[in-house]
Amino acid sequence: MIKHCSLPALGALILVAASAAAQPYPTKPVRVVIPYAAGGLPDTMTRLVATRLTETLKQQFIIDNRPGAGGIGACELVARANADGYTLLVADVGQTAINPALYAKLPYDPVKDFAAVGIMGTSAQFIAAHASVPANTLNDLIALAKAKPGSLRYGSGGIGSLHHLSMEALNGPLKLGLVHVPYKGTAQSVPALISGEVSLAMSALPSLAPHRAGGRIKLLAVNTLKRSAQAADVPTVAEITGIRDFDYPPVIGILAPSGTPRTLINLLSKEIAQAVKHRDVAQRYTTLGIDPVGSTPEEYTAQNRTDVEKYAKVVKAAGLKAE
């Protein structure tokens, strides 16, 4: 014989269930996986945000650096994690757009396996020339490159890096004949530019500004649609060349495993947006050459779609494939 619960008992069970369902997030530490080594730009900007999130959400946001292989391992790790909001991924266009264009097969799908949370920030990248290069403007450089094809070498952070593809988006369409010299990162390519080992390189302003002030390099253009407020005298590539959609900044945001509850996505997105716009974080971002964004999930999703198409075209035109 089945015993029926009394109405008071049933009401108590419903209250307990409702209470459990309404339990605030997070109730334990949140793991934030970064596909880069500690100390780099994505790591530094994420730690600033993680500190704010720890304060506002009253739980630790623990950084887990997983560098190497273009972030493929880090992406796979998060893609297979529980979709409960306790494992997040920091990603830039390398993981969301460039890897899919370079690799025929990936252990993760950048669209299907992740839910966009929000963009933390972007960073304008500048085309810089060594002081010995007889070009003071981007127009000068274009004329020089076309007059002496193969004579100018540019350094990048590696084959398939944002700096490589951003330069190829200029080099290919304008048929400049620039020679690519890949390094293991901008920590090597910028010193190569300063020493004159290469004629050109692309990097964020903080690593270039002291050398510009010292007269060792010249800034010819910025790779974003708008001029940077931190170097407003430097024109955009689009202004000079007429390539209207020339916009290749590193867009750095946070993703969650696909299937993460929308309520958690919205909460995290709101908190991240508030964190990057907090006075202390925003000031530090500016020092690092980062423009704080703080987007909605929908805006980040749309940005990823745009980037996938944009970088796929550059990779195809340059004939690049992952080794």
* Model confidence pLDDT, tens digit, residues 164-195: 999 999 999 999 999 999 998 888 999 999 99
Residues of CATH 3.40.190.150 domain(s) within the chain? 29-122+250-318
* Model confidence pLDDT, tens digit, residues 229-288: 899 999 999 999 999 899 999 999 999 999 999 999 999 999 999 999 999 999 999 999
Provide DSSP, 111-162: TTSEEEEEEEEE--EEEEEETTSS-SSHHHHHHHHHHSTT--EEEESSTT-H
Three-state SS at 89? strand
Tokens (6 digits) for 284: 């530090």
Q: How far apart are CA 309 and CA 249, in angstroms?
A: 15
* pLDDT grade for 17, boundaries at 50, 70 and 90: very low
Class of domain 29-122+250-318: alpha beta
Q: Are 219 and 208 in contact (CB under 8 A)?
A: yes
Residues of CATH 3.40.190.10 domain(s) within the chain? 125-241
* Model confidence pLDDT, tens digit, residues 120-144: 999 999 999 999 999 999 999 999 9
Q: Give the CATH number of domain 125-241.
A: 3.40.190.10
The yes-or-no verdict on residue 10 having pLDDT over 70 is no
- Return the number of other C-beta atoms located less than 10 Å from residue 129's C-beta: 26
E strand or H helix that includes residue 168: helix 162-174
What strand order describes the sheet that includes 200-204? 179-182, 153-156, 200-204, 125-130, 217-222
* pLDDT grade for 322, boundaries at 50, 70 and 90: confident
Q: How far apart are CA 123 and CA 248, in angstroms?
A: 9
